[in-house]
Every structure is written in structure tokens, then in C-alpha cells.
Amino acid sequence: MKRLLVLLFVILSFSAKSFASNPPDEGMWLPMFIERLNYVDMQKEGLQLTPEELYSVNNSSLKDAIVGLASGSAPDGYFCTAEMISPKGLILTNHHCGYGNIQEHSTVEHDYLTDGFWAKSIEEELPNEGLTASFLISMQDVTEDVLAELNDDMSEQERSKAIEQVSKKLEKENSAKGRYDVTVKSFFAGNEFYLFVYETYKDIRLVGAPPSGIGKFGGDTDNWMWPRHTGDFSMFRVYTAPDGSPAAYSEDNIPMKPKHHLPINIKGIKEGDFAMVWGYPGGTQRYLTSWGVEQAIEKSSPTVVKIRDKKLDVMRKEMNADKEIDIMYAAKYAQTANYWKYFRGQIQGLKNLDVYDKKKKLEQKFTSWVQERDSRQDKYGEALSLIKEGFKIKDSVVIPLKYMDEALFKGGEFIMPSFQYLGLYMRLQKYHEEDKVGWKFWKVFKKSSKDTSIINPIARSLKASLDEQYENYDKEVDHKIFSALLKMYYENVSQEHQPEVLSKIEDEFDGNVEDYVDYIYENSLFVDKQKLSDFLDDPEFKEIENDPGLMFTQSLVSEIRDVFSTVQKAETKIAHGKRLFVDGLRKMNPDKKYYPNANSTMRVSYGTVEDYFPRDAVHYDFYTTLEGVIEKYDPSEKEFRAPKELLNLYEKKDYGRYAREDGKMPVGFITDNDITGGNSGSPVLNGKGHLIGTAFDGNWEAMSGDIAFEPELQRTINVDARYILFIIDKLGKADNLIEEMTIIE
């Protein structure tokens, strides 16, 4: 009888848990609609704040502590999220989000990547050129304003132009004469439109970062994996002018006084606790059809993986051989490796989870619904056929397109800069032709037809960008990368899509790609910063006329136009069909709450702290501890080295107030929140709006999550706030930072 009662208890417990997580916590929701769409559900799961405390335009609210990080002022593409954690402008994000900035300040003598960095005073904080932090002021539904300028008789091109015109008008009207960054964005495949107003700060300084043996512990091996033992965090500070307004870097600037900052809760977490994630997710494709899934599995994603695999191999060999190169290429390697592994996981996830078949079933249901009424047939009848036609067209160029992007544009670093010189080249060519026509006249008067009033400003502008273009660039390393990737392009892309200049490989170099690349790197101005700088001091056509780097770029431009013409034709059909399809889906299920795809606008996802069962007979707990770091520690493997100071703290069990109740030091935990790229650095908050962790990754089993959310498998990987404070306090000994935070024990 006792055994029966125990069994009954287990069954009831499991059923309760299953019910608690059903419906799944899917969705990246716009904060302005929380009260109408999500608030009741969030309260049931444990939220204790009011809608006004979450999102308010007129009063301080949680949204005011959420930061969009960008490389520039444009609010259209935040690469990561951060959160305000003190009343003195201190923000927290991921180590991999700050990696490039940490690298910029690192040298062989002061290797902050390897050793970490802690500013013990305001004066020691390091400025970061180009890094910006944006705060959302408000969001507004402007769908009626935009749709008023559109009609069903417009072509897709006419529609896009009209949307652009009305968007620019609205943006200008709401910018407060340039004080704010404003953008209008499309939602639900062009069926709705929202306006976002941001205030952007440009003086952002590096405050703290753990050693890579903590911030990148596990490296590529553990990337996208759980269990995880990475202390993936870094810290910056936002500065303002003395009057509190945004300003460029100045010694007179002061730490920002934010409208709201997040208290940090170190009481601990348990399974089932409420968790919400705020941030700027970059992009999802939840409304992708079966044809898009098929293309991803069979063509686009495998091509990216193949090319990046080769690029990483070349970079890894060069970095292992030279410490300076290792520092110089660290960020580039990390960026390349991150989505190399992501696309591998995506392919596997899409196949394992039968996403293609699920999309097909939805499309069949949609077709049946459309056919039920003539009015639906008239409006939505061509939706899926347009999408199908578009992907069929795109299929013919998707592989060449990926090779152009991954092997050429992200291969040789001379290509992107040389694009910017085409205008100067054509101007010099024009003057050169004029000189040939009137050379006798100009010779007599000892003049040149070259108009220096036009040429010199162009040259000065290009020269001013050289440092940025050739930052972290090594000619020999770039030579080897481009040689390997161009060979892949030459051997794997059909002749139809080979730039004409590659005929030189057969005609002049006996089919040897390496010899052709050698010729470029021996003779082009664009592979040598100093030579290019000297040219810009006094630009002459004869010096650039037959430059092999520029000739390659010119030929590539011509081929790109052909490919993009096909892509544009395909995307026009897909966009039209998708707009109808998404509109129809929402009308087909009027009682369902739909959320839009992520598009670098502020979103909220909510859920709970949860474990999961990735496959048969395997269970993953919801948390990890420092003991796992010690178990993985291997001084012979770069990815699994840890600082001696951390090992000493473990031996002494010197965890201070940050340990769990059982005495162990927490490192990471997982939740069932819905996130994607751009959410890196997002705050993970409890029901009171206290910070309990920082999101930094997704799990391998759900790499198809950008296309299809899988509630039983999808997890957000977070670094525990207690581990962050432990590292700052005990290892970094940065008491100054601990003291300015609001810590709840």
C-alpha cells in the first residue's frame, strides 16, 4: 500500500509539472501589449509587478533598465542586450558581447582577454570608440498611418517605396529635432507597423571583465551546450554630459544617472520559479514555410557550415602559432565559430524535430480553411503558391549567394574596403580620359584636368577610415584565409556564377588559385594599409588602374548584380505571399495570441526555471556549480583552462555570501524562456523584477528554435547572478563595484 501511495504521488507530481508548463511559454512579446495579452498568465506563473512597473512611458519602469548595445547610433540592429545595475550608470552584459572591446584594449603586455580587467576607480575605466547604448523611450502603433498610404493595386516595389516614405515622415516628426533615434518597423510580415523612439549614449567605458578562463570557459566545445560552466559576463559604464544628456567621449563627462536600475537578488533559485527575459532579440523565422525549411536543411545552412569550417581551420593554425595573432583575431574567430556551430545544430534540430512535416501540416490546414469560402480564396488563394514560386527561384542562386557572402565578403578583408574606392576610381578614370583628349593644351599650360577640389575630400575621407578598416588585420593571415576560401568558391560554384575576373586563373595562372591570390597580395594596394595610405596622399589613376584587388572587386560587383536580381525577384514573391499567409493564419485562429518575429526591438519572454530530458534515459538538472568547472578543468586544453585564483577559491571553499544553501558555488541555470541572438546579455528577472542571472546562450537540442519553438526542449542558458558577484568580489577584488549595486540577500 505504501509503495502504491508513493507511486501515486510521483504520478501526480509529474502531471502537475506537465500541466504547469502547458501551455508552453513561447513568444517574444512587445512590452506595450503585456497588460492586454500576457499579464494574467504572467501573474499565474509568479509575476508580482504591475503592468505600469513593467512598461511605462510617463514613469520610471523596468524597461528603462534595458539597454540595446550597438556599433553606432542606428537603432536598427542591436548586437547584444545589457542591463543597468547601479544608480551610477553601471551596465552588465555578456563577456562575448564585450569581447571585441576587451580585445581592443589588450596587448601582449596587457592581455585583458587572458587575464581579465577590473577598474578599481572611475579613472581606470577604458573608453570604447563606436560602442553605443540605447534606451527605449516609447513605442507606438502606427499601422493605420502606414496602411492609409497603401492599396491592394500596388506592386511590391510601389508598396515598399510608400512604406519608406511614410516611415521617414513619422520618424522625423518624432525625433525631437534629432535628439532621439527613431525607427518604424514592420511586424507580422508587413501587416502591422510600430514606431520606436530611443535615446542613444555614445560614451561607454569598459569597467570589468573576468579572465577568458572564466568568461569563455568551455570555448567552442561547450558553445550552445548544457550543462554549462561559463561565467559569460562583462561590465561597462554609460557616461553623459554634466547636464545628463548624451555626449561623445569627454573627460568632463559623468556617470549616467538612470531612470531605473535592477536590484540583484542572491537569495537563490529553485525549479519552477518565475523567470522573465527582457532584451533585443535580433531575428526569428517562426512563420517560415516548408519550402524555406527545406532550403535551410538542404542548401543554405550546410554551405555556411562548410565554408566556416575551412575558415576556422586556417585561423586556428595561425592563432596557435603566434600570441599577437591570437589576440588580434580572437574576436573574429569567436564570431565565425559561434554561428558555424549554430547552423550545424540548426540542421540537426530541423531534421530531428520533423519541422518540415509540421510546417506542411499547417499549410494543408491553411489551404483547407481558404477553400471553405470564395472570399478567402479571393484574398488568400495565391499566398502559398507565391511563396513556393519564390523559393523555387531562390533555389537556383542560394548556394552562390552564400559563397559570395561567406567565402568572398567575409574572406579577404581587402574586398569590403575596395568597394568604397570604386567611386574614387571612376572619378580618376574620368579625369584620365579627359587628360588624354586634351593633353597638348594642358601640357602647354602645365595644368591637369584632375579636379582636386573633388578628389582631395574623397581621398581624405577614405584615409580617415583606414584605421578602422584595417584594425586587427594581418596581411599574411588574410592571404591564407582568402586563398583557402577562394579555392572553395572556384571549385564549388557553377561557372555561371563565377566572376569574370576568375578566368585569369585558367588563362594566366594555369588553373592555380593560390598563384592568383599570391599575385593579388603582392601587387594590390588594398592588402597593405601603408601603401593605400600613401596612394591617398596623392591619388593618381595609373597607380590604381590595374590594381588586381580592385579588379577582383569590380568583377564581383557585376556578378553580385546578377545574383541579387534573381534574389530580389524571389523575395518579392515570397514577401507578398508571406504577408497574405500570416494575415490569413491570424484570422484562421482568432482566439490565439500571436506574437511577431523578433526584429531587434525590445521584447519580453516569460517562463520558469526548468530542467529537461534531451533524449532517452538522459536528464539535465536546472543548475550547475563550480564543481563542474573543476571536473572539466584541463590545463593542456586552452578551452578548459581556469585561473589559478579560481582554483584556490574552490579549494578553500571561499564563496562568501554567494554560495547555495548546500555550500556549493552556483555557476549557471536554465529556464524555458524564448530567446534568440541579440538576447545575449539580457537580464533574467524574478517575479519582483530583481536580477537573478544574465542570459547568454541556447541549448543544442533546440537549435531549430528560431524557426520552430519546441517547449519540451528549448532552454535559455544563464550565468547565475551569484557567480557574477562572486567573481567580481572574490576574484576581481573590485569592492568598488559591489558597493554601488543594490544587492538583496
546 and 478 in a common domain:
yes
Convert the pLDDT of each residue in 313-356 to its tens digit.
999 999 999 999 999 999 899 999 998 999 999 999 999 999 99
Is 113 part of any domain?
yes
Confidence band for 437, pLDDT divided at 50, 70 and 90 = low
Q: For residue 109, what is its C-alpha cell? A: 603586455
Among residues 64, 232, 273, 672, the one annotated as catalytic is 232
Q: Is 96 a catalytic residue?
A: yes
95 with 80: CB under 8 angstroms? no
226 and 111 in a common domain:
yes
Contacts of 659 (CB under 8 A, 6+ apart): 653, 665, 666, 722
Least confident of 286-295, 416-425, 619-628: 416-425
- Residue 20 pLDDT greater than 80, yes or no: no
Q: What is the mean pLDDT of residues 675-702?
A: 97
Helix locations, 280-321, DSSP H: 290-295, 301-321
430 and 554 in a common domain:
yes
Q: Is 152 a catalytic residue?
A: no
Convert the pLDDT of each residue in 538-580 to its tens digit.
888 888 888 999 999 888 888 888 898 999 999 999 999 999 9
Q: Which of 502, 537, 563 is the C-terminal boundary of a domain?
A: 563
Is 263 part of any domain?
yes
Is 36 part of any domain?
no
Q: What is the mean pLDDT of residues 678-695?
A: 98
Least confident of 233-247, 448-462, 514-528: 448-462
3-state secondary structure 312-342: HHHHHHHHHHCHHHHHHCHHHHHHHHHHHHH
Q: Please count the structural domains in the chain.
A: 2
Q: Return the pLDDT at 443.
A: 44
Q: For residue 737, what is its C-alpha cell? A: 563595484
Q: What is the mean pLDDT of residues 628-651?
A: 97
- Phi and psi torsions of 321, nearest 5°: -90, -15
Pairing of strands 132-141, 181-187: unpaired
What 8-state DSSP symbol labels residue 29? B
- Residue 309 pLDDT greater than 90, yes or no: yes
Q: What percent of the chain has pLDDT over 90?
A: 81
Contacts of 719 (CB under 8 A, 6+ apart): 230, 231, 232, 233, 667, 668, 693, 694, 696
118 and 217 in a common domain:
yes
Q: What is the mean pLDDT of residues 279-288?
A: 97
Distance CA 147, CA 168 (A): 14
Is 663 part of any domain?
yes
- Residue 475 pLDDT greater than 50, yes or no: yes
637 and 533 in a common domain:
no
Single pTM value for the model: 0.90
Q: What is the mean pLDDT of residues 8-26?
A: 42
Is 466 part of any domain?
yes
Among residues 56, 64, 86, 96, the one annotated as catalytic is 96
Q: What is the mean pLDDT of residues 32-50?
A: 95
Q: What is the mean pLDDT of the chain?
A: 92
Q: Return the pLDDT at 448.
A: 47
Confidence band for 18, pLDDT divided at 50, 70 and 90 = very low
Least confident of 302-306, 433-437, 631-635, 715-719: 433-437
Q: What is the mean pLDDT of residues 355-369?
A: 97
Confidence band for 163, pLDDT divided at 50, 70 and 90 = very high
Read off the CATH number of the domain in which 602 is found.
2.40.10.120
Q: Return the pLDDT at 376.
A: 97
Q: Return the pLDDT at 146.
A: 98
Helix locations, 449-547, DSSP H: 452-464, 466-469, 475-492, 503-507, 513-523, 529-537, 541-544
Q: What percent of the chain has pLDDT over 70?
A: 94
Q: Return the pLDDT at 74.
A: 59
Q: Return the pLDDT at 447.
A: 45
622 and 550 in a common domain:
no
Amino acid identity, position 717: I
Q: Kindly list the distances between the CA atom of residue 335 and the CA atoms of 77, 329, 341, 372, 437, in Å, as whole numbers in the listed order.
A: 16, 10, 11, 49, 51
Peptide bond into 75 cis (omega under 30): no
- Residue 450 pLDDT greater than 90, yes or no: no
Give which of 490, 492, 480, 478 is closest to 303, Cα–Cα. 492
Least confident of 14-18, 78-82, 137-141, 434-438: 14-18
Pairing of strands 80-84, 90-93: antiparallel
490 and 603 in a common domain:
no
437 and 516 in a common domain:
yes
- Residue 612 pLDDT greater than 60, yes or no: yes
Q: Return the pLDDT at 608.
A: 97
Q: For residue 157, what is its C-alpha cell? A: 516595389
Q: Return the pLDDT at 446.
A: 41
- Residue 387 pLDDT greater than 50, yes or no: yes
Contacts of 716 (CB under 8 A, 6+ apart): 277, 670, 671, 672, 673, 674, 675, 679, 684, 695, 697, 698
For 314-327, b where at least 16 C-beta lie within 10 A, e where not — what string? bbeebbeeeeebbb
Q: Is 357 a catalytic residue?
A: no
Is 252 part of any domain?
yes
- Residue 283 pLDDT greater than 90, yes or no: yes
Cα–chain-centroid distance for residue 337? 13
Least confident of 15-19, 46-50, 506-510: 15-19
Q: Is 567 left (phi over 0), alpha (psi -120 to 50) or beta?
A: alpha
Distance CA 704, CA 372 (A): 33
211 and 101 in a common domain:
yes
Q: Return the pLDDT at 434.
A: 67
Beta bridge partners of 68: 81, 134
In the chain, how long is the greatest CA-to-CA distance?
116
669 and 618 in a common domain:
yes
Least confident of 183-187, 444-448, 531-535, 670-674: 444-448
Q: Return the pLDDT at 464.
A: 87
Angle between helices 301-321 and 330-352 (to 10 degrees): 150
Q: Return the pLDDT at 112.
A: 96
Domain that holds residue 118: 52-130+202-285+597-736
The H or E element containing residue 238 is strand 234-240
- Phi and psi torsions of 413, nearest 5°: -75, -5
Instruction: Look at the alpha carbons of 445, 450, 455, 460 in this order and tell me if their dihedral is positive or negative.
Output: negative
Q: Return the pLDDT at 459.
A: 85
- Residue 13 pLDDT greater than 60, yes or no: no
Convert the pLDDT of each residue in 86-126 to its tens digit.
999 999 999 999 999 999 999 999 999 999 999 999 999 99
Is 525 part of any domain?
yes
Among residues 418, 680, 682, 704, the one annotated as catalytic is 680
464 versus 727: the higher-pLDDT residue is 727
- Residue 12 pLDDT greater than 60, yes or no: no
655 and 515 in a common domain:
no
452 and 499 in a common domain:
yes
108 with 115: CB under 8 angstroms? no
Contacts of 616 (CB under 8 A, 6+ apart): none
Is 356 part of any domain?
no
- Residue 225 pLDDT greater than 60, yes or no: yes
Cα–chain-centroid distance for residue 461? 29
Peptide bond into 590 cis (omega under 30): no
Confidence band for 229, pLDDT divided at 50, 70 and 90 = very high
Q: What is the mean pLDDT of residues 439-452?
A: 47
- Residue 10 pLDDT greater than 80, yes or no: no
Convert the pLDDT of each residue in 584-596 to its tens digit.
999 999 999 999 9
